Amino acid sequence: MNASHGPAPDDLAAWGAAVLTAVDNREWHTAWNGVLDAATPLAAPAQRAVLQRLDEWDALEAGDEGRRQAVLRQAWQGLQGELTANVMGASALDAQDWDRDWDRDGPAADRDGSVARYVQARGLTKAYARGGFKLGPVDVRVNPGEILGLVGENGNGKTTLLRMLAADLQADAGSLDWGCDARDVHRLRSQLIYIPQRPPKWGGRLLDHLAFAARSHGVTGERLHTLVQLVIARLGLRAFRGHAWRQLSSGYKMRFELARALLCAPRVLLLDEPLANLDINAQQTLLTDLRDMARSPWQPLALLLSSQQLYEVEKIADQVLFLEQGQPRHVAERFAQMAGSAIEFESPLSGAALAAKLAGLPAHELAHSGETRIISFHVAFDASAFLRHAVEVGLPLSYFRDITRSTRRLFVR
């Protein structure tokens, strides 16, 4: 995409088709994510039109599905017009402020080296004198539009690595590269946003904080209002605009931090345990939103997130880096060395009763982690064969998952 002149025709067509498909399928969240994402770099009048549609949407009665589709289609059509005009050369971008960023951050800036284009580390190490923990050497590279999931048990160096990649903690050795001139550390840090697991407390109202963040990033005039409102909608914070820090749950505090990050138009986003303290539905929604943010056709991000939620992270990550006692294990390489297969399951049976039901299966080992059992076969034995066996011998199962190619397998002791 040529950012300084708006979207390329292919990006526009793909975006248009994806949003319309979501509208047809009544996947409202996905459709709105697409609309709000495309509206983010546009000028105030185009953003105001989208905000009007959002107000109409909020006023709709529950169950009014046809009207919902109509409102979203109208929002889509309005944006399509703006974006097409932009592709044809009549800039829809606000000449006054955001356009400056796009010019600055587009190819011209890439050439002058002032904008981060990816995050890359080679041979990165860190040792803490107190306690003796050592991390690395670690090699990593994440490009815009890609997601890296960082997993590992507690105390294995995930936070240490994220902070080094965010230029927030000095490495002992190795090289770090963001694809730009890193000598202006202040400028670099404004493009690398690190959100810690427990972000600091803030005072006042959520809306005022976000307006302040946008203003600090150079957004002015009417666009200050429309952009902040769009980003608030994007992160599902419309009902919390007037809320104070103490009135927000942990999940919404994380959403606030993401909204603040988006207003700074970061290139690299590093999140430490963003799923911690979220219920399962909130985790799924946040992961979808993070995936959409990273893969935005308008402003893609290199996204790195640490998490204990292996299964959830694996669903959206392009690469998974597993840290074990400070040493990186690139998961794809580990799997290449592992034979056999593994299944995680839960059953009310245990001990001899369970062993009797599993007798007759190919050679295996049985481990457990709390209530969950992990059966590891020495030879490939696929999940459907295991299920067939369970049905035949009457093994009751309350949970079942094939973890042969999951990072979960690396945690089996």
Ligand X SMILES: Nc1ncnc2c1ncn2[C@@H]1O[C@H](COP(=O)(O)OP(=O)(O)OP(=O)(O)O)[C@@H](O)[C@H]1O
Q: Which residues bind ligand X (CB under 6 A)?
A: 128, 130-131, 133, 152, 154-160
Note whether 262 and 78 are within 8 A (CB).
no
Nearer to ligand X, 159 or 404 (CB): 159
Closest distance of CB 255 from ligand X, Å: 21
Closest distance of CB 184 from ligand X, Å: 26
Closest distance of CB 171 from ligand X, Å: 13
229, two tokens: 């409102």
The 8 Å CB, 24+ separation contacts for 7-10 are 7/83, 7/86, 7/87, 7/297, 7/298, 8/87, 9/87
Closest distance of CB 194 from ligand X, Å: 13
Closest distance of CB 119 from ligand X, Å: 17
Beta-strand pair 327-330/319-324: antiparallel
Nearer to ligand X, 3 or 304 (CB): 304
Enumerate the β-bridge partners of residue 120: 141, 177
Closest distance of CB 199 from ligand X, Å: 14
Closest distance of CB 289 from ligand X, Å: 23
Nearer to ligand X, 159 or 406 (CB): 159
Nearer to ligand X, 305 or 375 (CB): 305
Closest distance of CB 149 from ligand X, Å: 13
Closest distance of CB 132 from ligand X, Å: 8
How far does the chain reach from its first CA to its final CA, in angstroms?
A: 46
Nearer to ligand X, 132 or 394 (CB): 132
Please state, as a whole number, how many other Cβ atoms lie within 10 Å of the Cβ of residue 167. Answer: 21
Nearer to ligand X, 47 or 160 (CB): 160
Which residue carries 């709000």 as its tokens?
A: 36
Distance from C-alpha of 18 to C-alpha of 290, rounded to nearest angstrom: 17
Nearer to ligand X, 158 or 267 (CB): 158
Note whether 303 and 290 are within 8 A (CB).
yes
Secondary structure, 3-state, 332-390 = HHHHHHCCCEEEEEECCCCHHHHHHHHCCCCCEEEEEECCEEEEEECCCCCHHHHHHHH
Nearer to ligand X, 16 or 152 (CB): 152
Note whether 116 and 193 are within 8 A (CB).
no
Distance from C-alpha of 49 to C-alpha of 204, rounded to nearest angstrom: 29
Closest distance of CB 305 from ligand X, Å: 12
Nearer to ligand X, 136 or 152 (CB): 152
Strand order, beta sheet including 268-272 = 192-195, 268-272, 302-306, 147-151, 319-324, 327-330
Which one, of 308, 323, 411, lies nearest residue 368 by Cα?
Answer: 411
DSSP state of 205: B
The values of phi and psi at residue 366, to 5°, are -120, 125
Beta strands in 3-162 (DSSP E): 119-127, 134-142, 147-151
Nearer to ligand X, 325 or 350 (CB): 325
